[in-house]
Amino acid sequence: MQYLQDQREEALSLLNQSEETIRERHGDESEKRLIVTYGDMAWLKYHDGDFAQSQSYCQKVEDILVKYPTGSSGGLLPEVYGDQAWTYFKVSWSSLSKAIDCFHKALEVQRHDTEWNAGYAIALFCREQWVLGNKQEDEESKATKQLRFALEINPNNAVLQCMLALKLTAYKKYEEADGLVNKALENDPDNPHVIRHSGNYLHNRNRLDEAIDVLKRGLRRGDQLPSFNYQLFSAVFSLQGLLMPLKKYDWRQCAQKLKQIAKKRLSRNPGDGEALALLGQVARAEGDRKEAALFYEEALNYDKDNEEYLSALCELRLELQGSSD
């Protein structure tokens, strides 16, 4: 993405960081996972005209494939399928089915891998939430079963705990769900995804004061968390209806804090689509739909296929058209 935005040095820096992180995290198992990073390096060096370095990275990829054969002419290493899956998952909602398929292919080779099982569970959860929402169900869904299996392998994954809790409300298994949310907030209280999902869960359970406390804690930590992102900014606004009538001062405080975080991120990177979309959400919540639409349009310039931004922009345009009529 950075390379396509003509940020070549930043793209190279991120790939170097990726190699370092993979080596630190996976140790002796890192070589197979580096095949994707080396492939990206080869592509970037080739398009920069550095053909010698490009060939060097291509050779590293070939050496890994010789050392770790896939066992079939058309098959890929599970690490490649897994990396493809995360890429599809992060690109846009329209690629969600491809992400699910890639996670499934990775798990056909490594059935008990914690990362692929977590990714598969998250992707299935997102698809079911998109299609079903919180609709009551008779039998546990595919996503629910996969979340359970992923937690058997990695029982302290706080994000998965929150997601399973949200799914269990469809079966009215509230006691188990409450326990999962409490564990999640103990295991990883500063994770923005945990804050988002636990806040939504507490909201759905009509535990409004607890939901507000979770989100306010996230806002206080926002400047200090490198992973603080649009997902937390979405949780806050999904609860704006309960914030405003209860404590108007808290709502104004939240909006101001979110503006500060977004502007700080934009000062570091003017092309930060998440920060621009956040400002769009703030403007929309404050009633300035025209300004909100402008922020979403700008966010889409840097993240063209983001369906959340597209959906928000379409809604705003319809509202603006209706008001002008």
The chain-wide mean pLDDT, for the chain, equals 78
Average pLDDT (129-153) is 83
Average pLDDT (80-88) is 81
Residue 84 main-chain phi, psi, to 5 deg: -60, -40
Candidates 181, 171, 124, 174; CA nearest to 149 is 124
Least confident stretch, 54-58, 107-111, 131-135, 302-306: 131-135
Instruction: Read off the pLDDT of residues 149-183 as tens digits, 9 standing for 90 and up.
Output: 999 999 999 999 999 999 998 889 999 999 999 99
Rounded distance, CA 258 to CA 71, Å?
A: 51
Residue 260 has pLDDT above 80, yes or no: yes
In the chain, the domains with their CATH numbers are 1-69 (1.25.40.10), 269-325 (1.25.40.10)
Q: Are 239 and 212 in contact (CB under 8 A)?
A: yes
| Percent of the chain's residues with pLDDT above 90 | 21
Residue 166 main-chain phi, psi, to 5 deg: -60, -40
Confidence of residue 2 (pLDDT cuts 50, 70, 90): very low
Q: What is the 3-state secondary structure (H, E, C) of 242-301?
A: HHHHHCHHHHHHHHHHHHHHHHHHHHHCCCCHHHHHHHHHHHHHCCCHHHHHHHHHHHHH
For residue 136, the model assigns a pLDDT of: 65
| 139 token code pair | 């039998």
Residue 228 has pLDDT above 50, yes or no: no
SS3 content of the chain, % helix, strand, coil (to 5): 80, 0, 20
For residue 165, the model assigns a pLDDT of: 95
CA 265 vs. chain centroid, Å, equals 18
For residue 133, the model assigns a pLDDT of: 59
**What is the biggest distance separating any 2 CA atoms in the chain, rounded to whole angstroms?**
67
SS3 325: coil
Show contacts of 245-254: CB within 8 Å, 24+ apart.
246/208, 246/212, 247/212, 250/212, 250/216, 254/215, 254/216, 254/219
Amino acid in the structure at residue 86: W
For residue 242, the model assigns a pLDDT of: 45
Q: Are 238 and 230 in contact (CB under 8 A)?
A: no
For residue 167, the model assigns a pLDDT of: 92
For residue 78, the model assigns a pLDDT of: 78
Instruction: Read off the pLDDT of residues 9-34 as tens digits, 9 standing for 90 and up.
Output: 766 777 777 778 778 877 777 777 77
Residue 43 has pLDDT above 70, yes or no: yes
SS3 195: helix
